[in-house]
Amino acid sequence: MRQPGKNINIKVNNITVSYNDEGSDNAPVIIFIHGFPLNKSMWDNQLNALMDNYRVIAYDIRGHGNSELGTIDFSIDLFVKDLLRFMDALKIEKTIICGLSMGGYIALNAIENHPERFSALILSDTNCTADTYAGKEKRMNAIKSIKENGVEKLANDLIPNLFAAESFKRNLKEIPAVREMIAKTSTQSLYNSLHALAERKETCGKLSEIKAPVLIIVGTEDIITPIDAARFMQSKIKGSKLRIIEHAGHLSNLENPYDFNSQLNKFIATIKSI
């Protein structure tokens, strides 16, 4: 029996996963996956905007928000297993999936390896490549810095790259909210996630096999996963659409929710079988 609402707990892969589940029972399902080191609340605006027409679900990836950490090493493959078991637990056979950045890494890996479970894909501010050697080194330095200087320093280092310059004047609520999400993530989860990000495999090689409808979204000023990364994915996924969001950096759904939601709505309306 479905339990709609906020901060619902469910047992998945031996951990408790916390999720929000809104909208009506029989509507098409959209599952949202957040970025690192954030949590499901980053999708609040999208859930509110779409819940009248869809069943919208956002969950906390293990170790983030209110979901438990568990005892096994993190990997994108593990996050994909968690997603599939989460869908099983909620009796969702097939869903539209929307992931931002790390959420996009999970969504891409999931659709490439389990295409039968996904009716459409929205990739936001993400890419398909693995970390470079320098990228991995940066993650290991971040772990060292958290150990030496704490999480506040991590937030100070990350935030200037997550938002467009103009968002520091326009998005006065979102920046402290993101700071709080980062601060709420346990240090163990940060270490585990940084390792998982550093070790993730590329997903570019299988992009051309994706048959589901795909929308790729990117903020004009995204410096973490820039427009070129989005254009590359679009060139490989047949029929995919690319939408560039103005007045936004890496967190385009938070920085310009009006345009982001409008693109989501337009795209979902074009999907034939959901």
Binding site for ligand MLT (CB under 6 A): 35-36, 101-102, 197, 224
- In this complex, which beta carbon is closest to ligand MLT, that of residue 196 or of residue 207? 196
List beta partners, residue 58: 20, 32
Least Å from the CB of residue 264 to ligand MLT: 18
19 secondary structure, DSSP code: E
> Nearer Cβ to ligand MLT, position 28 or 249?
249
Question: DSSP of 40-61, one letter per residue?
Answer: GGGGHHHHHHHTTTSEEEEEPP
As measured in angstroms, the least distance from the Cβ of 141 to ligand MLT is: 13
216, 243 Cβ separation under 8 angstroms: yes
Q: Which is nearer to ligand MLT, 94 or 136 (CB)?
A: 136
Nearer to ligand MLT, 102 or 237 (CB): 102
Biggest CA pair distance of the chain: 52
DSSP character at residue 135: H
- The nearest distance, CB 124 to ligand MLT, in angstroms, is 10
Nearest approach in angstroms of CB 68 to ligand MLT is: 20
Q: Please, which residue, 35 or 257, has the CB nearer to ligand MLT?
A: 35
Least gap, CB of 154 to ligand MLT (angstroms): 12
Closer residue to ligand MLT (CB): 51 or 182: 182
Contact in structure between 55 and 22 (CB atoms under 8 Å): yes
Please, which residues have CB within 8 angstroms of residue 174's CB and are 6 or more apart in sequence?
A: 163, 167, 251, 254, 255
> Counting beta carbons within 10 angstroms of the beta carbon of residue 249, is it exposed (0 to 12), middle (13 to 18) or buried (19 or more)?
buried
Residue 193 beta carbon to ligand MLT: minimum distance, rounded to whole angstroms: 9
CB 13, CB 85: distance < 8 Å: yes
Contact 17, 62 (CB under 8 A): yes
